[in-house]
Structure 1
């Protein structure tokens, strides 16, 4: 006769056994509990008559009940948690149903114990294990209609959106086609390009530069690289979450402010090289405006899509700072002195204005919605204009160094 003590021993060995033995012993536990409730055969009757009296099984059963309560609270309640096989869960569920009906008729505490253990394992395992998603589920791209609010801003770009990607998946997406691919790579490659140009300019293009000259050009190159790198970082990770979008957008706009400040340092330094007081005043003023621009970029409303036009206007006005010192420079040196540098700066300004206008108008995608989702929409076109403007600015800085650098 298989007693409840046997069930207890089986359950205890289930806890301490290996992972393979746990699976088999769990099935044995269920089957033996079922046998416990079935009538005994003649051989078992004879064996029990020879070894036990009529009253002897009762104390054993009572001890089983007491021991089962202890083991249930200490061991068996956690035993089935080690099982992660879905088919075993299904077998245990069917066995639990059969055992439940038997315990209802026989009121056997061991059967109730078995039922509670299996039921606990099923409910706990279902809570612990998340649903298994398809292998490439995370890489699926979404349409504009299915976007969270923080990614909605250009309804003319209708497909190719990454939504709630992890940081790791965002890095992997660098080598996939989506509507941020060109935005990322235009400025990422430009960052590398300006790093190379910095080394070439400082080592080979500038003739006998002083430490101050090298410092001025280094500021320009670092600001240009920061602006393009921050932009690439924003477009890479903007789809992680709304919070990440907000902070990386702030980083992006801070880069624009740095670019404007760094672009004016060489021009103001060389145009006003013979007028140190005015040079210090205007270089300090552009630095303060840069701090203001960075501070404004930290405001939450500044990152909203509703503010896109005002944002473009803000950076355009900021970029035309040269118009403030220009009258004084003309008064000090004459128009002929300023003109060579001024028309080169005009090319830089025109490039920025054209790019910002395209960005604010969302052209060409507004003329053909959905046709430029993964191609040259307004945003990557704007990036190209900023790269051209930075190259023109570098050309103007080198000219200013050669034309005005040795005057005083």
Structure 2
């Protein structure tokens, strides 16, 4: 008879330092778990369980919205193609994140590679957001400007650099944890800032007549939730104040996941509203992205981001174990 019994979760002093999480003392899965054990751990309470489910369930919700939209709206409408890309990437990143958290306990190198792929998916979503913003949310005064013309191209470059920087930061995780955290936050903050510049301009400077609509409220909520998510990710609250009290429920990474998903939901609603309410003005006043531009941007992002991931994954096996994992004295 097949036994579904899983190993008892471990404490922080029973696992290698590379698996440690600040303020989390108990609930760690064994660091050499099999793929089957990792999958079964979705139904066992560990300190990763809610990290997985807080992105796995939204993945199915976003997928349902994507499929529904594709069937009813996108197939033969070139104006909707940027939305198709955005909705697709909004499904990719929560799925990649849930997979990364699921299989990160298979080995030290598997943990790093899982998160390399997670970072690549987040940056792919960043590009999807930039494409949707370019098509539907730009304030009137920035439409058809030089900034608008190069906005997506530079967003592609940002995703490539960001993936490389975030992957590199993992090599500093043990030796220089503060620098690691700074580089990783920077790796995601600057593409977000670039992508969101048209929204900042629209909300705080000159939105223009066509951009003064109900979507602005959702853009504001999206920004607020993103800022809260960034704070939780960087501050490690509340577990830093009470180590061991939030090991299973309520630690910062779970709250970060919830805020990120809520931010994406608000962003999605804002983009959908802008797409509908500004359609007539945008079709008359802007130069829509062509299929070649959209496809080219996505392919370049995928090729170079995967190249980064492959390079840093190979580096894990080239660098001697002590250099990668030994803490500085």
Asked if 1:181 corresponds to 2:52, the answer is no
Aligned partner of residue 69 in structure 2, secondary structure: helix
Do the aligned partners of residues 329 and 384 (structure 1) sit closer, same or farther apart at CA in structure 2, a change above 3 Å counting? closer
1:328 to partner: Cα distance: 8.4
Do the aligned partners of residues 283 and 325 (structure 1) sit closer, same or farther apart at CA in structure 2, a change above 3 Å counting? same
The superposition leaves residues 55-97 of structure 1 with CA deviations (integer Å, 9 ceiling, x where unpaired) of: xxxxxxxxxxxxxxxxxxxxxxxxxxxxxxxxxxxxxxxxxxx
Gaps of 5+ in 1: 1-134
| Whole-angstrom distance in 1 between the partners of 2:10 and 2:242 | 19
Equivalent residue for 1:399, pick from 273, 276, 290? 273
8 A Cα contact 2:137 2:271, kept in partner: no
- Per the alignment, residue 356 of structure 1 pairs with 230
Aligned partner of residue 299 in structure 1, secondary structure: helix
Equivalent residue for 1:316, pick from 169, 185, 189? 189
Aligned partner of residue 406 in structure 1, secondary structure: helix
8 A Cα contact 1:188 1:228, kept in partner: yes
8 A Cα contact 1:254 1:297, kept in partner: no
- Per the alignment, residue 126 of structure 2 pairs with 260
- Per the alignment, residue 29 of structure 2 pairs with 162
Do the aligned partners of residues 328 and 146 (structure 1) sit closer, same or farther apart at CA in structure 2, a change above 3 Å counting? closer
The TM-score with structure 2 as length reference comes to 0.73
- Per the alignment, residue 91 of structure 2 pairs with 225
The TM-score with structure 1 as length reference comes to 0.60
| Whole-angstrom distance in 2 between the partners of 1:138 and 1:303 | 32
1:323 to partner: Cα distance: 5.3
| Whole-angstrom distance in 2 between the partners of 1:142 and 1:260 | 36
8 A Cα contact 1:138 1:165, kept in partner: no
- Per the alignment, residue 69 of structure 2 pairs with 201
1:394 to partner: Cα distance: 0.7
Task: Provide the aligned length of Structure 1 versus Structure 2.
Answer: 270
| Whole-angstrom distance in 1 between the partners of 2:170 and 2:202 | 37
Gaps of 5+ in 2: 285-329
| Whole-angstrom distance in 2 between the partners of 1:241 and 1:349 | 36
Do the aligned partners of residues 177 and 328 (structure 1) sit closer, same or farther apart at CA in structure 2, a change above 3 Å counting? closer
1:295 to partner: Cα distance: 2.6
Higher RCO (CA 8 Å, separation ≥ 6 residues): 2
Aligned partner of residue 160 in structure 1, secondary structure: strand
Do the aligned partners of residues 323 and 219 (structure 1) sit closer, same or farther apart at CA in structure 2, a change above 3 Å counting? closer
| Whole-angstrom distance in 2 between the partners of 1:209 and 1:349 | 30
8 A Cα contact 2:11 2:28, kept in partner: yes
Equivalent residue for 1:375, pick from 246, 249, 273? 249
CA RMSD of aligned residues (A): 2.9
Do the aligned partners of residues 220 and 379 (structure 1) sit closer, same or farther apart at CA in structure 2, a change above 3 Å counting? same
